Amino acid sequence: MTDRQALPLILALTVPHSATAHGQDPPPPPPPDAAGEHLAEPDEASVSAPPAGRITRHEPVLVTARKWVELSRDVPQSLTVMPEGLLRDAGLRSMREASFLVPNLFINEFSSRRLSFPTIRGIGSGVGDPAVTTYIDGVPQLTINSTNLPLIDVERIEFLRGPQGTLYGRNSIGGLIHIITQRPDNTLRVRGGATLGNYDLQEYEFSAGGPLVADELFFSLTGLHSSRDGYTRNAFTGNDVDDRDSLFGRGQILWTPSEQSEFRLSVYGEKSRDGGFVLSELNGLRRHPNRINQNFEGLAHRDLAGSSLTWNYHGESIDFVSITSFQDWSIFETADFDFTFIDAVRRRTRESQQYFTQEVRVSSAADANLAVGEDASLKWILGASLFASDSDRLARNNFRPGGIGIFFPPEQVGIDTQFGDFEDLGLAAFGQGTLTLGERLDFTAGLRFDFERKEATVNRTFETGGFTVLSTTTNLDRDFDEVVPRFSAAYRFADNVMVYGLAAMGFKAGGFNLSAPTGRLAFDQETSWTYEAGIKSTFLDERLAVNASIFHIDWDDLQLSLFDAMTGGYIANAASATSRGFEVEVGLKPAEEWDLFAGLGFTDAEFDRFIDPFGADVSGRKLAFVPERTWNFGAQYSGRLCESATWFVRGEYTGVGTYYYDAGNRAAEQFELANFRVGVRSRNVSVEGWVRNAFDQDYVLVAFQPSPFDPTAFVGESGAPQTFGITVNITF
């Protein structure tokens, strides 16, 4: 079966949304070129992605998870796709909000927007390099600091579960999140929007795009200003402390000098000026949510800029892709580091990073697979990539006289500063091929070689009474390399049922901490093997879609984020761990007006062997920040208000089962959230009201142990309270 023959068949499961019920005629099936069938680069796949869950033969869900365009139901791995229609209908503005609709994905984040840590199937990270990498238009984000961006001007998001190291490389050992933005086209569009809500929420959005030269040169511009008051009140000062204020913009130019070649230039940037961390003692937060009592109120500033240039060339038998990017970000944060009203410890953090990435690929062109027999063909891809990164980090703890005798002895009064320069160079070569026998059986094999060299110069000083009493410099360098294979097989029992199995290795390079307890500056690389089996299917004339998978993961030397009261967060290796579980996603359209959806993820992730920082043997205990269950269900009903307008109402209920804050499983959390949205839409105007966390559930999303002496002491941050508002959009 060719890609062209497959397009009219079925769509794999996504969360439901109905375009027709919203007063828009469903789009016709796109022609092969418009559907991006000849594009191998994810961000350049001009995919006419349908609204989520619209289960008809004429709206295939196209993805680029394997760096070529195909139906999501043909990808032999577990994935969830969120098209633009779903992001709009559910009002999803951040990756954290979107994560609740993805089984076995959990994102724990602090009030500082740069600290957002995704975990998939138990594999995640905290400080340092991610274990679930975010890509934006084919460009990897090398750290978590530049990933949590507003979801505007987005065509779709692909959530890939399981290791993606063969095609995507480093730090995708747990999975991958790929954000694909809207590409400019030949249609002139101008849109403005405003959102007002409680906590003085104000968001103003503008976008414009269209042709500069008809059928050849196109542009798009998008801007967003967002601000709100803080959710958390400081009892010491009476102020709201975790307020937010940011300005974000993106511009793109698309040039198609010929039918075979196109160039896409994208630049974006953000300036955020947010309030400080709102960490407080856990039991106090349980009694008084969103309340702290601190003598010092910090701040969290982030500036970032990104750019990429993508060149696609589509030949008769071979496609070529080049992606060049440069990223630059910096952060400045201050915080009360004793988390109390006592003026004991203040923290100052500065970090910046600049990095360059380059990837080139050649692959078999669409409908030009290599014939290897009478009834067999091979689809293939080969590529190489490199990156170079330079980052500076500074962490300064000011131990003040107010903490004497309570937190530390007199001789520790002073300023403890760690600062360092970190350089990273990586090279990789990869290839993957899919052998198709007949029209039903596929075998896929891939291999990647990764090499990474890391160097660091770490300095530490301690000043007291105006004198420097300690000054040390440590030079570190290490090489890391790994061969990362991947194998899978898929069989189609019928056009609407596919089963698959896979085995894949994951790899995450080791590295260096800026600050850590003695002897812990360096940590080793992490590896894993994932085994997965699943089914993708549709029934009832394609009105019912069911995807399910089971998995087992064995991994060694997993990198854990730990906390030390003197040095702050650092990374250390645990011995080994195991994770097993399943995912199920269901979408049903019982009638034209209704869309129903549900998802369930179960993960049992535990340590095989590990001694935690307090000396306790935690073998057999659960990994931190890995919910046993994640689930969601909901419905959307749409109807026609008049000939030119429609209305809709949507509700979703999501749950996060029990998860622990620490390796010793000494403190845990679980919570459930309800969201509702109702609106009226015409061709040019939409007005929508919404409420998130409708029942005002209190929960502490993230917490950690700040004391090296008391493993039962935790500080944490409350989750977002009930928020509501109204959104108006006007399109010209």
Does the pLDDT value for residue 55 go beyond 50?
no
pTM of the prediction? Answer: 0.90
| Residue in this structure with the two tokens 């795009």, named with its chain if needed | 209
Does the pLDDT value for residue 531 go beyond 60?
yes
Which tops the pLDDT comparison, 159 or 30? 159
Which range among 57-61, 70-74, 263-267, 561-565 has the greatest average pLDDT? 263-267
Amino acid type, 491: Y
Average pLDDT, the chain: 88
The pLDDT of residue 643 is: 86
The pLDDT of residue 60 is: 57
Region 64-80 average pLDDT: 92
Region 663-687 average pLDDT: 95
Of 211, 250, 255, which is closest to residue 44 (Cα–Cα)? 255
Tokens for 305? 């800029």
Region 322-329 average pLDDT: 96
What pLDDT band is residue 495 in, cutting at 50, 70 and 90?
Answer: confident
CA angle 453, 456, 462 (to 5 degrees): 165
**CA dist., res. 39 & res. 365, Å (int):** 8
CA angle 337, 108, 269 (to 5 degrees): 85
The pLDDT of residue 579 is: 96
The pLDDT of residue 407 is: 86
What pLDDT band is residue 575 in, cutting at 50, 70 and 90?
Answer: confident
- Greatest CA separation for the chain: 83
State CA 464 to chain mean position distance: 42
Tokens for 139? 């460009």
Domain ranges of the chain: 3-731
Instruction: Tell me the percentage of the chain whose pLDDT exceeds 90.
Output: 72
The pLDDT of residue 566 is: 66
Does the pLDDT value for residue 181 go beyond 90?
yes
**CA dist., res. 143 & res. 732, Å (int):** 38
Q: Kindly report, residue by residue over 443-479, the tens digit of the pLDDT.
A: 999 999 999 999 999 999 999 988 999 999 999 999 9
Does the pLDDT value for residue 49 go beyond 50?
no
The pLDDT of residue 565 is: 63
Indicate the fold that domain 3-731 takes in CATH: Maltoporin; Chain A (2.40.170)
**CA dist., res. 731 & res. 48, Å (int):** 20
Does the pLDDT value for residue 43 go beyond 50?
no
Q: Are 126 and 117 in contact (CB under 8 A)?
A: yes
Instruction: Tell me the percentage of the chain whose pLDDT exceeds 70.
Output: 91
Does the pLDDT value for residue 563 go beyond 90?
no
Q: Are 607 and 554 in contact (CB under 8 A)?
A: no
Does the pLDDT value for residue 15 go beyond 80?
no
User: For the ranges 8-22, 173-187, 523-537, which has the lowest average pLDDT?
Assistant: 8-22
User: For the ranges 113-117, 165-169, 276-280, 636-640, which has the lowest average pLDDT?
Assistant: 113-117
Q: Kindly report, residue by residue over 190-205, the tens digit of the pLDDT.
A: 999 999 999 999 999 9
Q: Kindly report, residue by residue over 97-113, the tens digit of the pLDDT.
A: 999 999 999 998 888 88
Close Cβ partners of 409 (under 8 Å, ≥ 6 residues apart): none
Residue 215 falls in which region: left (phi positive, over 0), alpha (psi -120 to 50) or beta = left
The pLDDT of residue 646 is: 94
Other CB atoms within 10 A of residue 152 CB: 20
Give the up-direction half-sphere exposure of residue 530: CA atoms within 13 A in the CB hemisphere.
Answer: 36
What pLDDT band is residue 42 in, cutting at 50, 70 and 90?
Answer: very low
What pLDDT band is residue 593 in, cutting at 50, 70 and 90?
Answer: very high
Does the pLDDT value for residue 217 go beyond 80?
yes
Of 181, 43, 123, 133, which is closest to residue 387 (Cα–Cα)? 133
What pLDDT band is residue 171 in, cutting at 50, 70 and 90?
Answer: confident
The pLDDT of residue 655 is: 97
Q: Kindly report, residue by residue over 337-383, the tens digit of the pLDDT.
A: 999 999 999 999 999 999 999 999 999 997 777 888 788 999 999 99
**CA dist., res. 617 & res. 623, Å (int):** 13
Q: Are 265 and 698 in contact (CB under 8 A)?
A: no
Q: Give Cα separations from 348 to 300, 414, 519, 596 (angstroms).
A: 10, 14, 23, 48
The pLDDT of residue 706 is: 87
